[in-house]
Structures are given as C-alpha cells and as structure tokens.
Amino acid sequence: MTDTRRRVKVYTLNEDRQWDDRGTGHVSSGYVERLKGMSLLVRAESDGSLLLESKINPNTAYQKQQDTLIVWSEAENYDLALSFQEKAGCDEIWEKICQVQGKDPSVDITQDLVDESEEERFDDMSSPGLELPSCELSRLEEIAELVASSLPSPLRREKLALALENEGYIKKLLELFHVCEDLENIEGLHHLYEIIKGIFLLNRTALFEVMFSEECIMDVIGCLEYDPTLSQPRKHREFLTKTAKFKEVIPISDPELKQKIHQTYRVQYIQDMVLPTPSVFEENMLSTLHSFIFFNKVEIVGMLQEDEKFLTDLFAQLTDEATDEEKRQELVNFLKEFCAFSQTLQPQNRDAFFKTLSNMGILPALEVILGMDDTQVRSAATDIFSYLVEYNPSMVREFVMQEAQQNDDDILLINLIIEHMICDTDPELGGAVQLMGLLRTLVDPENMLATANKTEKTEFLGFFYKHCMHVLTAPLLANTTEDKPSKDDFQTAQLLALVLELLTFCVEHHTYHIKNYIINKDILRRVLVLMASKHAFLALCALRFKRKIIGLKDEFYNRYIMKSFLFEPVVKAFLNNGSRYNLMNSAIIEMFEFIRVEDIKSLTAHVIENYWKALEDVDYVQTFKGLKLRFEQQRERQDNPKLDSMRSILRNHRYRRDARTLEDEEEMWFNTDEDDMEDGEAVVSPSDKTKNDDDIMDPISKFMERKKCMLKQRAREMKESEEKEVLLKTNLSGRQSPSFKLSLSSGTKTNLTSQSSATSLPGSPGSPGSPGSPGSPGSVPKSTSQTAAITTKGGLVGLVDYPDDDEDDDEDEDKEDTLPVSKKAKFES
C-alpha cells in the first residue's frame, strides 16, 4: 500500500502571486552527490519523474504553515511549497529540515540572515532578541512606532514577529482594543489600526493563524475599522454579523469544514475590503495572506468533493419536484458559488472537481432547472452551464447526443439553451449574448475530437442540424415571411443579429451541413429580407452573411443565388442608400468588387444581365464598369472560341495542332527558286518523299526551332515576268513540328542543298539583299518560262481572320519583297 504520509503536492508562486500546481508525488530526503548536501526529492506518483530536487541550505528560511504546509524561497522571486496529505508526513520532513539547519523542530520558521547588513549583524550579536514595550494603553504610540520602524529591515521584521509570537502579544493588543472602544479613545484606536496593519505586513503564517482564529478575527477587523485617514470609522463588523448571513442549504456535518468556510470568507473580506490597497513596496509583503486564502480554498473544495453524502443530497434536492422554489434557488446559487470557487484551482484539481460533478449528474440537473419558470434560477443555471462548456465542451456534446435518443427535441438541453437565448427579456440581451457564445463554442469544429473509430464533428453536427437548427432559425423564419421584416423593433433586431452571427460562423466552419440547410430551407432569401430593416446593423449582418457565402466561391451556392435572383435585395438596398457614403455603401461595393477581382464568371454574367441598367450610372467607382468589361470579354470568348484559343496560343508563344485536322492535311506544296530548277519546271510528287525527306526537313526543322511559329505566306505576282502568282496558305492547326509529305524531282535535291549553303554567306550572289540576287527588289529571275505547279488540299485558309488582316497583309508583302526566293521557300515550308 502506498505511504500516504509522504504524499504531497508541489506548488510554485507565479508572477501574479498565485500558486501553480506542479504535480502530485511522494517526498523523501537524502544526500545528493551533485548538490553536495541533504536535499528534498519529490517524484511524481504517475510516472516516477522528478518533480522537485531542492538542497536544504543552512541559511534558507523554511516556514511550516497550518500543520500540513512547508513554504520556502530558493531565489528572490522563486517561492516553493509542499502541501502534505497528512500532518505526520509534514512533521517528519520538517524534522529533517530542522536537523540539517540545527533548529528546534518546535519552531515554525527558520531564520534567514541573508539580507541583513553588517550593522544588523553586529546588533544581532549584541542583542539576541527584540524587547517589546509592555502592552499598556499609554504605550500604544511607542508600540506603533516600533512596528513601523521594523518593517524596512528583514532582520528586524523577523525579530518582531518572533517576539509577537512568543509573548502572546496579539491577544493583549486586542484586549486593549476593547478598552479603547469602551473609553472611545480615538487616538488609541488609530494607533491600534497602524499596529495591526503593520503585523499583516510582517507576512507570517503563525501570526495569521492567531489573528484569524475564531476568537480573534472579528476584533482584528474591528481594529482595521479605525483608519486615521477617514473621518468616520467603517462598519465592517456590522456588515459581517448582520448583513452577510451564512446559508447552509445542505447541512454540513463536518465542523472543521464549516469553520474553514467561515474563516475563508472573512479573510477574503479582509483582503478585498478592509485592508487598504497595498503600495508597490507593500504588495509582496502580503504574499502569505494570498497563500493562506488559496490553500484554504483548496482544502474546502477537497473536503466537499470527498463528502459524497453532501453532494448526493444537493443534486437530489435540485431535481426533486417537491423542492420549493426558494429552496431550489438557494441550492442553485450554492452550486454556482461552488463552481466559481473552483476557478481558482489549478488544472489538475479543476479536472477532478468537474469529473466529480459530472459523475453526480450535474447536466441532467441543469436540464431540469433550465426548464423552470424562475428567471433567477435559470440565470444561475446558465452560469453553471458556462463553467462546464468552458471546461469541457466535448462532455456536454456527448451528453446532449445521448439524451436525444430518449427525449423529444423540445426538452433537449441544447434546445433549452437556444430557447432561453431567444426569449431573453433583457432589453440589452445580456443573457442572450452569453448563451450565443456558449452555442458557438459547442458547434466549433476546432475543439471537437477525432478518434480512429468516430469523428465527433460528423456525429455532433449531424445531430445539431437534425434536432436543433430549426429551433435556432425559428425567429428568423417567422419574421421574414414577407418582403420586409414583420417585426422591426430594436430588441427583435438585436436577437436576429445574434442568430445571423451564429449562422455566419456556421457557413464558415460547417461546409456541407450548413450548405444543405441553407439551400433546402431557402435561408439566404429569408436573411436578405432583413436588408429592408430600418436598423442598419441588422441589414449589415444580413449582407455579411451573404458575403461569407460568396467568399466561398462555391458553385452550388452560386447557382442557388442566381436561380432565386438573390442579388435583387442587395441592389435595391444599394439604390435606396443613394449617394450616401456609409458602411452599407462600402460593404455592397466591396462584395461586387470581390466578384470582379476573383472573376466569378457565373455571378458576373448574372449581375450584368439582370442589374446592369440599374448600376450603369454608378461611376464614382470602377467596380461595375469593371464587371461589365469582364462580362463582355467572357461573352466574346464564348461567341468566338477559335479567337479565344488563338489568343491563348499567341500569349503562350507556341502552337498546338488540333487532332481533327491531322487526317485532312495529306499534302503540302511549296515554291522553290526557279534558278535552282534544272528542268525548268519542278513538280513535287508524294512518291519521292522518303528519298528527299532528310534534305528538305533539315532547314525547316532548324527554322521551326528558332521561330516556334508558322507564318502564312502569300506569293506576289512578279511585275517583271509573266509568271502567275502562286499563293500558298498552309492549313495548320498549330503543332510545333508539322508533318509534311514532300516529293522532289531528282534534280532538286542538290540545288536546294547548295542554295541553303549559299544563302548563309552575307553579300554572296544568292544572299538576301544582294543587288543581283533572285529575290532582291527589282531583280528578274533568269528563267521566266518555268512555272511551279502547286496545289493545296482544302483551299486557302488563314490561321486567324483579324479585322486588320488586309493592312497586315500589305505590310507582309512589303517585307516579302526584301526576301530572296530561296528564303521564301524556307518560310513557306
């Protein structure tokens, strides 16, 4: 069996002066070679990992508090605490610490002399203790001055605290307080205020335990009523005894627990209401007071959790129909305070707390309470529900899905929450806003779990849209049956704005669930009715809902919008807004600008075809004219797909051949220089293709690699000769390597090859631009009687028929005039 005496929790004090739980484990003491001394070791009970390894330094001040706590500081801003499960374990470790430091285990603190100055060290050697003045009425001023003078010095504070503890001085001071009150000695009461306040700043747990005891705490509060800076004393004791009443809704049988609750409430009151706000220099002096309250709360929550009878009675009475309304309200308020109390706990303790409540049936109990008519009870139950949702939304989702198998939709917990949101009577809808936030947390896929066997998102969203969404959208559907909202008062508008905010969140995060719901229930058309509301914030919520849908660029949504003409309410609102430059104007323009920039073709066409006449006069922004331009470009591409494809080809600088034209292109003819023809007339026949293919395709391939395009050629009629004009147009679909079927006479091969070599030398007789070359301007071919016979299958077809083709052709002819026939032959191929 595990030794529970050594079972501890390790705490560290954070920057906010709150204790952070570092884990639960078992403590031991022993010599650590690395640290060269006796040390405290805490190993986690879960996995045995080392939670704490702290050397027991001879000069470190260790404090023993409340019989089960040991607190110390290892650095200037690094405080540690061990909270023991049993007093015996605390005493055992305390003895070890005192043994190392050479101290008597009966003391509750070991002195720390680190901060003392040389002068104080000398004083300490000469005066081992601090002698307090006798506790008399006439010496109160002297006592107050002594306390004030001791606070700046750590050593003097330590000596003063020890003197106060050893002589029972606090109780003597409180006896003087009664004397001063009876004599109405205001000056003495002012001195006592300063003395008690100074004792708080000594920051000693042993002194707090005396002052916060049942017999002393009210007198301590009484001393703090007489602040010298106030003209009249405060009445804190009157408030605590008469106004603040302890209601024991469920009898607490443990007297220790009851006393701890009273003590914690009063100490919390002292900290929050009685003590003046500490200065920057005094703030750290009250750290022990914070710790005292914190550990008290931990103890109270732990003791209540362990009292199964108490919690069982609590939930039994909450759900019992025979419980009267006043009693039930007290029970709910207690549970609310209990949950609020748990928020100060560390995560591990809070987990255990909520698991205990869940096992006791807190969610079924809340379901019963939320179904009641009492507004105050429902409000408290809502606060409890919010604690549960924030702690573990998956636990709540699992519960509501399980109860759906047994109960009707009307009494489901989540539907009760939605109904309370819808029926909130607060003009500002404070409760509805809180509930909407809780619903948003519950339907947020980001905090849903996914396991190997099931996906919480799929299961819960399927449940939500089947059983709950109709309840959420009911006020929206009821208020939008006509062309304008049937109710347009401020409270209704606020409620609908909350519903739209949640629906917009669903559009963004729920994909197909919300899409199916919107399209099947025609939700967007109903939402856009609210564009006619007199409340601008509601109209903008409706617009934001549509904008979120359009932003998804989902064609299912787009077809639904076009089919139902759902831009009409938006355009109408835009025109009704007129020339006013406001948020509505900007939001609508931004939506159309998004459609233009993202080039959503279907919506662009729909808007221009149906609403252009209403929008064409808007010229202070270019959005609508830009939409019109997009539409025209889109229509032009639809009307002339060849033009669209050729523009795309030209932009990409490459040609593609349409597969359908491959069978049609059976042969291609081209002109050659007549000077190169040996027989005067050359006929290219298909039969010679294989023989001449390599010689002919070599210059053509080089040219095609260099230019990456085909040029159309037109032979001009030679003015100086009687040669007929031969026009060659190739019917190409645009592949990079067109296939040619060529046949040359036997005398052509050598001539073409030699011509290719000749044209590569600038200034040679056959080179372009030479005065005597066959293709140069003004030259006449040597043989005019020879003609080339050329046929093209399919007739003369241009690549693209542009409107300016004639002008371009003239320019092409001028360029061709400067080329020799040999060059033209290459281009034509």
pLDDT score of 611 more than 90: yes
> In terms of pLDDT, which residue wins out, 755 or 398?
398
Q: Kindly state the percentage of the chain with pLDDT values over 90.
A: 30
Residue 223 has pLDDT above 60, yes or no: yes
- Residue 188's alpha-carbon distances to 140, 176, 225, 343, 679, in angstroms, are 7, 9, 13, 42, 142
Give the Cα separation of 662 and 737 in Å (integer): 12
State the pLDDT at residue 436. Answer: 94
With a CB cutoff of 8 Å and minimum separation 6, the contacts of 317 are 250, 323, 327, 328, 331
Res 290: pLDDT = 84
Choose among 606, 618, 625: nearest CA to 567.
606
**Greatest mean pLDDT among 96-110, 572-586, 810-824:** 572-586
The per-residue pLDDT for 758 is 37
DSSP output for 60-89? --EEEETTTEEEEEEETTEEEEEEESSHHH
pLDDT at 817 > cutoff 60: no
pLDDT band at 807 (very low <50, low <70, confident <90, very high): very low
Residue 480 has pLDDT above 50, yes or no: yes
> Of 544-558, 587-601, 772-786, which range is least confident?
772-786
pLDDT of residue 824: 39
pLDDT at 643: 57
Average pLDDT over residues 717-722: 44
β pairing state of 7-13 and 19-32 = antiparallel
pLDDT at site 562: 95
Name the band, by pLDDT with cuts 50, 70 and 90, for residue 453: low
pLDDT given at position 328:
86
The DSSP symbol for 168 reads T
Alpha-carbon distance values, 672 to 196, 715, 724, 749 (Å): 120, 11, 14, 11
**Mean pLDDT for all residues in the chain:** 76
Output 725 or 599, whichever has higher pLDDT: 599
Q: Cβ atoms within 10 A of the Cβ of 532, count?
A: 19
Q: Which of 484, 487, 563, 566 is nearest to 529 (CA)?
A: 484
- Asked if pLDDT for residue 538 goes beyond 90, the answer is yes
Which segment of 97-101, 510-514, 534-538 scores lowest on mean pLDDT? Answer: 97-101
Looking at residue 645, its pLDDT comes to 58
The whole-number pLDDT of residue 15 equals 73
Q: Mean pLDDT throughout 601-605?
A: 94
More confident residue, 217 or 105: 217
Q: Which pLDDT value is given to residue 757?
A: 37
Can you give the pLDDT at residue 688? 44
> Tens of pLDDT along 745-759?
333 333 333 333 333
Does pTM top 0.75 for this prediction?
Answer: no
Query: Is the pLDDT higher at 306 or at 743?
Result: 306
Give the pLDDT score at 404: 80
- Give the pLDDT confidence of 228-269 residue by residue, as tens digits: 988 898 999 999 888 888 878 888 888 888 899 999 999 999
pLDDT value for 777: 38
Top pLDDT among 703 and 369 is at 369
Would you state the pLDDT for residue 451?
62
Residues 6+ apart with CB under 8 A from 685: 743
Say if residues 360 and 34 touch (Cβ distance below 8 Å): no
Phi, psi angles (nearest 5°) of residue 69: -125, 140
pLDDT at 448 over 80: yes
The tens digit of pLDDT for each residue in 484-512 reads: 899 999 999 999 999 999 999 999 999 88
pLDDT for 531 beyond 70: yes
pLDDT of residue 131: 82
- Return the higher-pLDDT residue of 743 and 530: 530
Residue-wise pLDDT tens digits, 36-54: 888 899 988 888 888 888 8
Q: What is the pLDDT of residue 4?
A: 72
Of the pLDDT bands very low, low, confident and very high (cuts 50, 70, 90), residue 284 is: low
For the chain, give the percent of residues with pLDDT over 70. 72
Cα distance between residue 426 and residue 608, in whole Å: 45
Q: Of 109-118, 263-272, 754-763, which gets the smallest average pLDDT?
A: 754-763
pLDDT at 825: 40
Helix (H) / strand (E) element for 42: namely strand 37-44
pLDDT at 721: 42
Mean pLDDT computed over 760-771: 38
C-alpha 606/C-alpha 604 separation (Å) is: 5
